[in-house]
Amino acid sequence: MDSPNVSLAESIIRFLDEAQNSSSIQHKLVNGLAALYSRTDDHKRFFEAFFQPFSNILLVYKIEPAVERVVSFTSKFAAKVTPKEKEKGVCQFYLYL
């Protein structure tokens, strides 16, 4: 999904944008975002880039299907990367919540 010319933040925004549009491809998006996460050397930088657009999505004051899809996508992503981090003794995702 991301190319060498695309920044980490832009790649994450694309994943979140696609996750808003459809829940049918969330499995593919979760795998893609998890792959991007695993390729990122600095996980703190990854989560800083992730939570800026994620926070903006959550600022919607009414229940919107697109927001619900992104929250669902994010929870699936967290569940996917958490077991790998627990093996290292730290769950990075929860440190940044």
One-letter-per-residue 3-state SS of 53-78: HHHHHHCCCCCCHHHHHHHHHHHHHH
**Predicted pLDDT of residue 10:** 94
Residue 49 in any domain: the answer is: yes
**Predicted pLDDT of residue 83:** 63
Give the whole-angstrom CA distance, residue 87 versus residue 38: 14
For the chain, how many structural domains are there in total?
Answer: 1
Residue 21 in any domain: the answer is: yes
Residue 2 in any domain: the answer is: no
Beta carbons within 10 angstroms of residue 69's beta carbon:
20
Range of the domain at 32: 8-95
Residue 15 in any domain: the answer is: yes
**Predicted pLDDT of residue 59:** 80
Low-confidence residues of the chain, pLDDT below 50? 1-5, 89-90, 95, 97
Give the whole-angstrom CA distance, residue 70 versus residue 72: 5
CB 1 within 8 A of CB 36: yes
What's the CA angle centered on 78, arms 33 and 5, to 5 degrees?
Answer: 20
**Predicted pLDDT of residue 80:** 85
**Predicted pLDDT of residue 36:** 95
**Predicted pLDDT of residue 3:** 47
Residue 1 in any domain: the answer is: no
pTM, to two decimals:
0.74
Residue 3 in any domain: the answer is: no
Residue 26 in any domain: the answer is: yes
Rg of the chain, C-alpha, whole Å = 13
